[in-house]
C-alpha cells in the first residue's frame, strides 16, 4: 500500500507537530545568537569610536602646542584641522541621533540604545532611513564630509586621497546583470535588515568618520614639518636702518644670524628694471644694480623661486625702495629769488636721504602751505626777512636740516596802457576804438591781475582844459566823445589812474600821454 494512502495515527500527528515546534525553536535560537552577535559587535565599535576620539585629542593637543610655539607657520594647518574636527563631531552626533530614532521607533518613546528590545525588527530601518528619507540625508552628509577633507589634500598625495574616498564611499551599487533593479546606497545599507544590524552599521560609519578624521589631522600636522627648509650654513649679517646719518645722530644697524641651504640654487626674477650682477653660487646671493639718471624715490622688487623639500616650487615676492638725490639741501623759490607779499610764491624743498613724506618746512614770516610736491609761501610783513626752516624725519623724530632766508618785497606796480601803449603818438581811429584802460604787469613772472578802478581823460577843447572822469576801467560816453573830437597833433592825457591788486591795495599809476597822428 502506497505511503500516500496511509492515514497518520494520532501519535504520528503529535510527533509531526513536535518536529515543527522544535524546528521553529531552533530557528529562534539561531536568530537570537545572530542578534546577540550584532550587539557584541556594536559594543565593540562604540568602544573603538571612543578610542579614536581619545587618540584624536592627543593629536589636537600636539597641534595646539605647535601653534603656540609658531603661530604664523602652524595656523593655516591648525584652522583646517579645526574645520575637520567640527565637521566630524557634527556628523557623528547626527548619526547617534539616527540610531536613537530607530530604537524609539521600534521600542517606543522610552527606547534606549543600551537595552534594545525589538532587535529583530526588520521594518523600522527601511521605514526611517529609506521611506523617511533619512538615509538620503545621511549619504549627503557623509559625502560632504569626505569631499571637504579630499579638498585639503594635494593631487600629489593621490594614494591617501583614494584611501579616504574608499573608506567613506557612498556610491550606489552597480547592477550585477542587465535587468537587475537599481539599488541606492541607502537601500543597500538599510533594506531588510534587523534593527540591531542597522544600529551596528551606523556605529561602523561613526568609526570610519573618526578614523578618517585621525588620518587627515595627522597628515596636516606632518605637512607642517614636511615643508620646512633644511639649512646647512649660518652667517652673521648686518643691515643698517639707513646709510644716511645726520651730524650728531647715531648710526644703527641690525645684527642677526642668517641661515641658508648651499644645496639649493634659488632663481631670482626682477621687476621694475635693473639686473642681478655677480651672483655667487657659493653664498647663493646676487647684487642688484641699476644706474640712475633722475632724482626721487625709486622702488624695485621681484620674486625668489625656491624648491621645497617635497619638490614643490614656491615663490617669495620682495620689494625695496631707495632715494636718488643731489648732495646738498635745496630750498629755492620756483620763479624768483624773493618772496612777494600778497601772492602765492611756489617753493620747492628737497634733501638727500629723505622722501617727500619725511621732509617738512615752515616760515617765520607768514605761511608756508604744502601743495602737491612743493609749498606755497605767503609772506606777511614787507621788509622783514622770511626764514624757511627745513626739517627731516629720522627714526621717528624731526631733525633740523637747514634754515634759509628770503627777502619779502611788495608786488610791483602795474603799468597803465591803452592799445598796448603808455606814451608817444597814436592813431586817432585806433584810440577811438579802445574800450578802456588796462593795467599790465610788465616783466613780472607771477600771473597777477590788476584792475583799473578809476581814471580821468584830459585835453584842450577851444582853449580850455576839459576833464572827464571814469569810475571803472572803461571809457565813459563823455570820454569817448572827447577822444573822437581830437585833432591832428593834439595831446591827450589819461591821469589820476588808480588800480586795485589781488591783495586789495590801491595803487596810483603814472599818467599816460598821447599825441594824435
| pLDDT at res. 90 | 92
DSSP bridge pairs for 258: 235
The reply to whether 55 and 155 lie within a common domain is yes
Same domain, yes or no, for 33 and 166?
Answer: yes
383, 381, 387, 297: which is closest to 347 by C-alpha? 387
**What is the predicted pLDDT for the residue at 31?**
56
The last residue of one of the domains, among 293, 324, 355, is 324
Burial 256-276 (b: 16+ CB within 10 A, else e): eeeebbeeeeeebebeeebee
Q: Are the C-beta atoms of 129 and 139 separated by less than 8 Å?
A: no
Spatial contact of 351 and 393, defined as CB atoms under 8 Å apart:
no
Domain end position, chosen among 387, 409, 431 = 409
Residue 2 lies inside a defined structural domain of this protein: no
User: 1-39: buried (b, 16+ CB within 10 Å) or exposed (e) per residue?
Assistant: eeeeeeeeeeeeeeeeeeeeeeeeeeeeeeeeeebeebb
pLDDT for residue 494 = 92
Q: Say yes or no: 244 and 216 in one domain.
A: no
C-alpha cell at position 306: 625656491
User: Is 116 among the domain residues?
Assistant: yes
- Residues 154, 25 share a domain: yes
Same domain, yes or no: 244 and 299: yes
Do 190 and 242 belong together in one domain? Answer: no
| Cα distance between residue 230 and residue 252, in whole Å | 31
| 201 shares its domain with 107 | yes
CATH code: domain of residue 358: 2.60.40.10
∠ CA(426), CA(428), CA(433), 5° rounding?
100
Q: Are residues 189 and 244 in the same domain?
A: no
What pLDDT does residue 27 have?
A: 38
Last residue of a domain, one of 324, 345, 360: 324
CA nearest neighbour of 182 among 169, 171, 172, 192: 172
Measured CA distances, 30 to 26, 37, 296, 308, 353 (Å): 6, 11, 94, 61, 94
194 plus 306 within the same structural domain: no
pLDDT the model gives residue 171: 86
Q: Is 153 left (phi over 0), alpha (psi -120 to 50) or beta?
A: beta
Q: Are strands 253-260 and 285-289 parallel, antiparallel or unpaired?
A: unpaired
CB 417 within 8 A of CB 438: yes
- What confidence score (pLDDT) does residue 5 get? 43
φ and ψ of 208, to 5 deg: -60, -40
359 and 435 assigned to the same domain: no
Q: Please check whether residues 341 and 319 belong to one and the same domain.
A: no
pLDDT along the chain (517 residues), means of 10: 45 46 40 64 75 85 85 88 91 88 83 80 83 87 90 86 88 76 80 82 87 89 67 59 57 60 69 69 66 70 71 74 58 66 85 79 91 88 91 83 88 89 88 89 81 92 89 91 89 93 86 90
Q: Which domain holds residue 49?
A: 21-174+182-226
Q: Write down the pLDDT at residue 69.
A: 79
Transcribe 324-355 into DSSP letters.
E--SS-EEEESS-SSEETTS-EEEEEE-TT--
- First vs last Cα of the chain: how many Å apart? 172
Q: What is the pLDDT of residue 1?
A: 38
C-alpha torsion sign, points 158, 159, 161, 165: positive
**How far, in Å, CA of 475 to CA of 499, rounded?**
15
Residue 7 lies in a domain: no
Domain assignment of residue 1, yes or no: no
3-state secondary structure (DSSP) of residue 385:
coil
What pLDDT shows up at residue 242?
A: 57
Domain assignment of residue 132, yes or no: yes
User: Rounded to an integer, what distance in angstroms lies between the CA atom of residue 302 and that of residue 316?
Assistant: 8
CA dist list (Å): 333 to 326, 374, 402: 17, 10, 15
C-alpha–C-alpha distance, residues 347 and 368, integer Å? 9
User: Are 405 and 420 found together in one domain?
Assistant: no
Q: Are the C-beta atoms of 342 and 500 separated by less than 8 Å?
A: no
Question: Is 6 within the bounds of a domain?
Answer: no
Query: Residue 408 in contact with residue 341, Cβ under 8 Å?
Result: yes
Buried b (16+ CB within 10 A) or exposed e, 85-123: bebbeebbeebbebbebbbbbbbeeebeeeebebbbbee
Give a yes or no: residue 453 inside a domain: yes
User: Cell numbers 603818438 label which residue?
Assistant: 425
Count of structural domains within the chain = 4
**Chain segment 441-462, per-residue pLDDT in tens:** 887 777 788 999 999 999 988 8
Amino acid at each position: 500500500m502506497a505511503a500516500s494512502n496511509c492515514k497518520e495515527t494520532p501519535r504520528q500527528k503529535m510527533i509531526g507537530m513536535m518536529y515543527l515546534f522544535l524546528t521553529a525553536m531552533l530557528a529562534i535560537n539561531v536568530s537570537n545568537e545572530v542578534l546577540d552577535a550584532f550587539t557584541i559587535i556594536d559594543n565593540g565599535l562604540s568602544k573603538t569610536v571612543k578610542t579614536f576620539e581619545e587618540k584624536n585629542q592627543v593629536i589636537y593637543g600636539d597641534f595646539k602646542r605647535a601653534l603656540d610655539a609658531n603661530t604664523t607657520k602652524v595656523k593655516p594647518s591648525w584652522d583646517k584641522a579645526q574645520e575637520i574636527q567640527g565637521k566630524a563631531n557634527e556628523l557623528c552626533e547626527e548619526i547617534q541621533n539616527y540610531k536613537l530614532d530607530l530604537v524609539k521607533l521600534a521600542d517606543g518613546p522610552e527606547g534606549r540604545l543600551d537595552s534594545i528590545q525589538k532587535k529583530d525588527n526588520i521594518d523600522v530601518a527601511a521605514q526611517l532611513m529609506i521611506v523617511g528619507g533619512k538615509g538620503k540625508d545621511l549619504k549627503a552628509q557623509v559625502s560632504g564630509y569626505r569631499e571637504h577633507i579630499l579638498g585639503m589634500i594635494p593631487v600629489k598625495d593621490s594614494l591617501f586621497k583614494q584611501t579616504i574616498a574608499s573608506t567613506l564611499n557612498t556610491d550606489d551599487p552597480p547592477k550585477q546583470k542587465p535587468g537587475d533593479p537599481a539599488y541606492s546606497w541607502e537601500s543597500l545599507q538599510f533594506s531588510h535588515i534587523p534593527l540591531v544590524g542597522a544600529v551596528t552599521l551606523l556605529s561602523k560609519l561613526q568609526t570610519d568618520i573618526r578614523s578618517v578624521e585621525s588620518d587627515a589631522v595627522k597628515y596636516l600636522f606632518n605637512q607642517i614639518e614636511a615643508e620646512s627648509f633644511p639649512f646647512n650654513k649660518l652667517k652673521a649679517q648686518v643691515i643698517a636702518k639707513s646709510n644716511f646719518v645726520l651730524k650728531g645722530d647715531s648710526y644703527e644697524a641690525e645684527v642677526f644670524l642668517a641661515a641658508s641651504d648651499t644645496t639649493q640654487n634659488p632663481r631670482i626674477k626682477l621687476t621694475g628694471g635693473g639686473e642681478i650682477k655677480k651672483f655667487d653660487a657659493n653664498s647663493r646671493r646676487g647684487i642688484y644694480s641699476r644706474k640712475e639718471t633722475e632724482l626721487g624715490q625709486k622702488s624695485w622688487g621681484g620674486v625668489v623661486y625656491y624648491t621645497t623639500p617635497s619638490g614643490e616650487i614656491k615663490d617669495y615676492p620682495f620689494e625695496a625702495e631707495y632715494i636718488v638725490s643731489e648732495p646738498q639741501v635745496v630750498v629755492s623759490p620756483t620763479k624768483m629769488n624773493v618772496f612777494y607779499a600778497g601772492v602765492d610764491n611756489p617753493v620747492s624743498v628737497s634733501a638727500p636721504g629723505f622722501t617727500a613724506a619725511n621732509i617738512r618746512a615752515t616760515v617765520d614770516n607768514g605761511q608756508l602751505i604744502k601743495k602737491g610736491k612743493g609749498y606755497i609761501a605767503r609772506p606777511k610783513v614787507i621788509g622783514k626777512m622770511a626764514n624757511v626752516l627745513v626739517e627731516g624725519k629720522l627714526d621717528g623724530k624731526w631733525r633740523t636740516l637747514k634754515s634759509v632766508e628770503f627777502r619779502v618785497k611788495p608786488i610791483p606796480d602795474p603799468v597803465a596802457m591803452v592799445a598796448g601803449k603808455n606814451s608817444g603818438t597814436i592813431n586817432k581811429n585806433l584810440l577811438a576804438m579802445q574800450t578802456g584802460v588796462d593795467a599790465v604787469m610788465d616783466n613780472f613772472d607771477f600771473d597777477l591781475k590788476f584792475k583799473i578802478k578809476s581814471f580821468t581823460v584830459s585835453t584842450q577843447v577851444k582853449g580850455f582844459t576839459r576833464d572827464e572822469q571814469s569810475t571803472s576801467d572803461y571809457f565813459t560816453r563823455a570820454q569817448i566823445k572827447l577822444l573822437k573830437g581830437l585833432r591832428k597833433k593834439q595831446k591827450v592825457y589819461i591821469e589820476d589812474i588808480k588800480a586795485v591788486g589781488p591783495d586789495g591795495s590801491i595803487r596810483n599809476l603814472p599818467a599816460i600821454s598821447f599825441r594824435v597822428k
